[in-house]
């Protein structure tokens, strides 16, 4: 059941009126009847009228609230897909892109499986003369090491693409793998 204050507001305010006019009329309607004269439900009726004022005066805010439910997931998907649109660089150029998210393309020269479970996929030469590495850190991403590491050792002598953020380690650029999709043979 609508209150008389809310019904009075609808009759006074045109939704296409200028914003200043709407707020002036809303404040008049909402404040013209003191709470004490409205009885025990007066505060609720005043709040109902104020809510109607807000809906009439700021439809663009309500539109934004509705769009936010759509836009937030879209932004999340686009940020995750950003890696798919990363710039392509060669293994030799990777050092100049430290801190950037890129796709490094090149031929794998060496794959090292350490006793710790870490795997180093070296490009441009064998360790310590390599120019770039893709690294699987077993403790950081244990799921990638499940089922063996042959999927990485099989990459030796193949043209490979690695996507991720380039970090520097001991003066050499590297990408730490976080998913199997980060590295694949071309």
**What pLDDT, on a 0 to 100 scale, did the predictor assign at position 5?**
46
pLDDT tens digit at each of 186 positions of the chain? 444 544 554 455 455 455 555 555 555 555 554 545 555 555 566 666 666 665 555 555 545 556 666 666 766 666 555 545 668 999 999 999 999 999 999 999 999 999 988 999 999 999 999 999 999 998 888 888 776 788 888 999 999 999 999 999 999 999 999 998 999 998
Smallest Cα–Cα separation from 135: which of 100, 159, 110?
110
Fold of 86-185: OB fold (Dihydrolipoamide Acetyltransferase, E2P) (2.40.50)
- The pLDDT tens digits for 23-48 are 555 555 555 545 455 555 555 666 66
pLDDT (tens digit, 9 = 90+) per residue, 138-166?
A: 888 888 877 678 888 899 999 999 999 99
Which residues touch 155 (CB under 8 Å, ≥6 apart)? 108, 111, 121, 183, 185
Count of residues in the chain: 186
Q: For the chain, what are the domain ranges?
A: 4-80, 86-185
Which residues does 51 contact at the CB level (< 8 Å), separation at least 6?
A: none
Structure confidence at residue 1 (pLDDT): 46
């Amino acid at each position: 059941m609508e209150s008389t204050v809310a019904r009075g507001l609808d009759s006074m305010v045109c939704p296409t009126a200028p914003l200043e006019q709407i707020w002036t009329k809303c404040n008049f309607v909402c404040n013209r009847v003191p709470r004490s004269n409205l009885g025990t439900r007066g505060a609720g009726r005043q709040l109902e009228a104020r809510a109607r004022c807000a809906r009439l005066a700021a439809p663009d805010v309500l539109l934004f609230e509705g769009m936010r439910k759509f836009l937030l997931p879209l932004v999340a998907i686009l940020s995750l897909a950003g890696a798919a649109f990363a710039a392509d660089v060669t293994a030799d150029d990777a050092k100049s892109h430290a801190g950037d998210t890129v796709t490094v393309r090149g031929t794998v020269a060496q794959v090292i499986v350490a006793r710790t479970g870490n795997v180093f996929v070296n490009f441009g030469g064998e360790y310590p003369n390599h120019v770039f590495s893709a690294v699987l850190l077993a403790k950081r991403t244990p799921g990638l090491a499940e089922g063996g590491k042959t999927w990485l050792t099989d990459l030796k002598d193949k043209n490979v693409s690695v996507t991720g953020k380039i970090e520097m380690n001991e003066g050499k650029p590297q990408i730490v793998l976080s998913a199997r999709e980060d590295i694949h043979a071309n």
